[in-house]
Amino acid sequence: MRGLHQLRRRPVRVADQQQVRPRLGIAPEGGDETEEDDDDEQPVPHRLTIHGGRGEGNPPLKSRCRDLTRRHLRGHQMHENVFSDAVVCRPLRSSPMRCERVGVVGTGIMGAGIAEVMATAGYEVIVRSRHETTAETTVMAIDKNLSRLVTKGRCTEDDKAATLERVRTTTSLRDLADCDLVIEAAPEDLELKRELFGDLGNLCRPDAVLATNTSTLSIIELAVAAFHPERVVGMHFFNPVPIMKLVEVIRGLATSDETVARTMALAEQLGKTPIPANDRAGFVSNRVLMPMINEAFY
């Protein structure tokens, strides 16, 4: 299974980051990184494990997890998530993203769902496919889903028509050059995605956000192919996109705070619940899901 294989990729450690930084134009961090024995320097899950969920003066595990969740819901970001080498919370000021035109690269189930959600929210959407026939199939899929909503009384015929008018298709990446945001939803092929981000990095405006819907591939490995790696971010929707509220916003090594904040704000404008994640194998959801699957099978 490709998904399980991808999740086995080694997380990006400090040594790997030092090698990647020069490729991204980031100055290496000074000093040697050494492991600390102090419990305070350990990640939160490790501290909870070695103390059995409790320590001297520590509240129970359930209470600490609840406190972390509440802190995040109050507008704080886990700058380094629970799977990283440190945990630091900081405020995340997400200003509304100036976004009028969105490009979607990929015409599969996820690409069609993302295009539908964007168009329903009022954005002009350009769906790019290698073949015109597959692009039209995507529009037909959106039409079919909206018709189902009309039948259920969840939207009107006028709403459906207005949404479809905001969707157009193309076979050329050049038509995405003026988009404020481009979301790549191509198959999980690293070389294919790197090629796409290389082309998009050269074609799109310097202030455009380049997002990937990948569920397993490293954001760093995609960012190095783009002209401005600081604007590359993971924006992982879940299937079916129009229904599922969760969106993972993944920060790569070079991703800027502004890019993350804009992406988080856009997800909220779509009516989604964004959660910040770092570039670790499986991000958040799949990293939690895989051990559960392993327990079920083994």
Give yes or no for a contact between 119 and 127, defined as CB atoms under 8 angstroms apart: no
What pairing do the DSSP bridges indicate for beta strands 101-105 and 181-184? parallel
- What's residue 71's pLDDT? 56
The pLDDT value recorded for residue 168 is 95
For the chain, 298 residues long, give each residue's pLDDT as a single digit of tens.
444 444 445 445 454 455 556 655 556 655 444 444 444 444 434 333 334 344 444 555 556 555 655 555 554 444 444 334 333 334 344 455 678 999 999 999 999 999 999 999 999 999 999 998 888 899 999 999 999 999 999 999 999 999 999 999 999 999 999 999 999 999 999 999 999 999 999 999 999 999 999 988 889 899 999 888 999 999 999 999 999 999 999 999 999 999 999 999 999 999 999 999 988 876 777 777 777 888 888 7
Q: Does a structural domain hold residue 152?
A: yes
Q: Is 252 part of any domain? A: yes
| Catalytically annotated residue among 5, 51, 131, 236 | 236
Q: Considering the domain boundaries, does residue 44 fall inside one?
A: no
Report the Cα 239 to chain-centroid distance in Å: 14
Domain membership flag for residue 115: yes
Q: In the prediction, which pLDDT does 98 show? A: 74
Active site residue 79: no
Question: Is position 6 within any domain?
Answer: no
Domain total of the chain: 1
In a domain, 59, yes or no: no
Given this model, what pLDDT does residue 53 score?
A: 41
Determine the structural domain holding residue 173 and report its residue range.
101-287
278's CB contacts (< 8 A; 6+ apart) are 80, 81, 83, 84, 250, 251
**What CATH number is attached to the domain comprising 269?**
3.40.50.720
Q: Is 134 inside any structural domain?
A: yes
DSSP state of 257: H
Please list the helix, strand and coil fractions of the chain in percent, rounded to the nearest 5, in that order. 45, 15, 40
Q: Which helix (H) or strand (E) holds 22?
A: helix 14-24
Q: Which pLDDT belongs to residue 289?
A: 77
Residue 70 in domain: no
C-alpha torsion sign, points 28, 93, 77, 71: positive
